Amino acid sequence: MSKWLMKISVLLFTAFVFTAAYAQQQKVTALNPPQPVENDGKVEVLEFFAYGCIHCANLEPSLEAWAKKQPADVKVKRIPSPVPLMGIDSTIVYYSLEALGQIERLHPKLFNAAHLEKVVIGNPAVLNKWLEKNGVDPKKYEEVQASFSVATKIKRARKMVEDYKINATPTIIVNGRYSVEQGTSGPEAMFANVDQLVREARATLKTSSVAAPTLTAASASVKPDLKKVTALAK
């Protein structure tokens, strides 16, 4: 092989590796169709997570810190995934503890229990012992778990996972229009993308009297520049 052909081969191989790596990092996807959000003038940010997901556990401190820095026009919500990673149905655990007013206190502890302490949360008997150890009455937990309100929230979360086409956790959804996965680029790049999409959504809200995900001519005409967004993850 001539030196010239060898150089071309090396350049092509380098370009292929770079493109593959870049694709691994860039996980910003436009939702089709976009999903509805409340018409309250705020930008909605959803995190789909699972307690059995080690990446969700690793992201939690960064997400918590990011959420605390957001202004009043950004609302952050968690949506548990029903995918039973490590045998844990996060929808049941999350909404039952939410009904008891314990989720904010125990949410990070559940990640630690599953991944650091190796507590088998997916086993009801083991979970009950862990709850009791952490100040929750297992009987009350079982009562709310069987309640209509918790069942309704679980059903809604499962439908949202389907509607938003969630294929992996953690996934962040910005204002019902864009999905952001962490990929291999880490939390810093992930939240850089989220920040950019939040700014774009805020601009859309300011130029339209209707929330961005509603299918009006005004809202549909304002589209974030995905090249600009994903470039932040470089």
Residue 84 sits in a domain of what CATH number?
3.40.30.10
Q: What angle do CA 174, 179, 182 make, to 5 degrees?
A: 110
Q: Are 49 and 56 in contact (CB under 8 A)?
A: yes
Count of CA atoms in the C-beta half-sphere (13 A) of 126: 12
What is the count of structural domains for the chain? 1
The alpha-helical segments, DSSP class H, found in 36-147 are: 54-68, 90-99, 103-115, 124-133, 138-145
Tell me: the pLDDT tens digits for 67-88?
999 999 999 999 999 999 999 9
Q: What is the CA radius of gyration of the chain?
A: 21
User: Which two structure tokens, joined as six digits, stand for 56?
Assistant: 């969700």
pLDDT tens-digit map of 196-227: 999 999 999 988 754 444 443 334 444 565 55
Q: How far apart are CA 19 and CA 186, in angstroms?
A: 18
Is 96 part of any domain? yes
Domain carrying residue 55: 27-231
- The reply to whether 140 falls in a domain is yes
Q: Render pLDDT for 126-164 as a digit per residue (tens, 0 to 9).
A: 999 999 999 999 999 999 999 999 999 999 999 999 999
